[in-house]
Chain A
Amino acid sequence: MQPSPTTATRTTAHVLARAVNTPLVKALGHPWVESIVRLDAVEDALSALHPLLSLTQVRARVLRIVDETATTKTFVLQPNALWASAQAGQFVRVQLEINGRRVERAYSLSSRPGARRIAFTVKRQDQGLVSNHLHTAVSVGDVLTISQATGEFVLPDALPANILLLSAGSGITPVMSMLRDLKARNYGGDVVFLHVCRAPDDLIFAAQLQALAADFTGLRLVVHYDASAGFFSPQVLAQHVPDLNTRSTWMCGPAGFMDAISAYWDTQGFDKQLFSERFVGAPLLPSTAPGTPVQVSFANSGTTFTTSGTDPLLVQAERAGLTPKHGCRIGICRSCQCVKTSGTVENLQTGEVSSAPNELIRLCISTARSDVALAL
């Protein structure tokens, strides 16, 4: 899929940054150069000169923080010249360091693709480490490190004639970006933008939505407040949008909401496609009882095996005929340390059960407590 044309981000700075950057990073990565000056040292020196300067990372300065509702804030950022561009509906991974530990969370962008400034919106979760940090510890002028935009939840290049953008709660962000994109692409078709939230106080982007509704001819805006209008079910959706079957639909919202809509789509046998974006704060995977057979995949080598019993992953892998790098076998030397990309593991030394994505684990003292994927 071709990204939407993004003329605005092709400034001289960008062109220059790319031209200088790629060969420079390549040169610094050369083992002989690395032994003289490390890329880390260059990066740190650049950061010290100016917090946005980096050869490898997209950094973005917080320009504005908008209080959308009592529990949501929108962060408007100015990224550095390494920022490529985004397609409507994509997300960025925001990287933070909280009390010495790096954490990453994915947030959908709500800004129009090609805009110089990008924006994401964060709902404060009760126990959410990252959302609370963003709400309380980040202020205007701070610099955040973000990934390039990524994600498959995007509009096609050739737009369908009828579109439904459906969202609930903070799921509004990616479809908001799509709506802005449609407007910018002078979309001549028929688009319904239906959003579900509790009450008018909880409506994110209220002012922008009203402005868009006023001068976007093909747009019909529907907001369902479930505090006053009652529970939002797929049947209610069908009442709001009688021609559902004619609309290619992009939806984003809480898991229960999306499950109900998907099930309805299947039972009705609609032939227009339904695309959905599942975003979860920190996935809490179920953990199976110790000793339950689970699938372990070594993603890089493409091998998969099934565990048996409660032995550590190193023993399990060896039993399956694999030979992962290891040393002491008692959790001291870290030779067997690798990145667990997904799944739940138990640390046999501390008893800690963890489901965090992309965390370092030691094969010799970890057992699988769900299906596990390793970067090996």
Chain B
Amino acid sequence: MRYVKLSAENFSPFFEALKELGKIYGPVKRNSTYTFVQVDNVKELSLDYTRTILPPKKFFVKPRDKLFRLKKENWEDIKDGESFVLFGVHSCDIHGLKILDKVYLGDPPDPYYKSRRENAFIVGISCMPDEYCFCKSLGTDFAMDGFDLFLHELPDGWLVRVGSVKGHEVVWENQELFEEVTEEDLKHFKEFEEKRAKAFKRSLNKEGLADILDLAFNSQVWKKYAEKCLGCGNCTLVCPTCRCYEVCDNWIRAYEAVRERRYDSCFMPTHGLVAGGHNFRPTRLDRFRHRYYCKSYFDPSAGFNCVGCGRCDEFCPARIEHVRVLEEVREGLL
């Protein structure tokens, strides 16, 4: 990895330089929450944000996504090939994208997702946890790859990790903005990380978790929470690793239709419904449990399907807490 330093006064020129790569999307405060939107000026950015409602997956798997346009009986691909910059992505969300990559870039790759991934320039940014974060216990609190540049906050600027060839190119072409990293900077970097590690309030015990959950299939805890759950599907919409979609064809003119996919949620009763009325997950309990199984599925090569971002907790209207449910299921079994 290459490390360089970006001083505080060069931050704005650096941001301007990134515009070469395309539109820049970054975290902006909207009322009491944050969202990734197009940003023209560094002043609009909220770099100390906690989490956005929708994770950056919305740029790769769009809430509504047009795939094909039907013209004269033939489908034409709808391509969106513009390069763009995602500025200020937290480590957990970078891990979230890596989990999506496993699915969408796996054979056969999804061409829409793939081109957006290739067109994106990702600038990570260090963060401080709030009461919902538990990424540290999942090992997703630090990104080793999956970004082009990663900015770590220093008292007088940023320590920048260069994570890709594209990242190198940007640093190379804007050499005048960067300096060598000093011993002092490294000391500050280390201090920041230590302070951050101590700031986590929530943690998930993942020891044997996958097996314990499987054994607890009939646990009363699932039932208790399924009764509390409103089945609204918020937790799946905001999750950086949830990616179920539904497909619809819509006629827009007499001779023109579009095929569109949009977010679906395993909390919807139709998710497992097939023709003839058979439903493979008929009850709220089946659906509630399924989500926890899906998020806690453990892939030896990729880890869990949850990155501990805390979104599902923050945005659950029934105040159901992910870690709490899992801990109770564990306690109920042991």
A, B from the same assembly: no
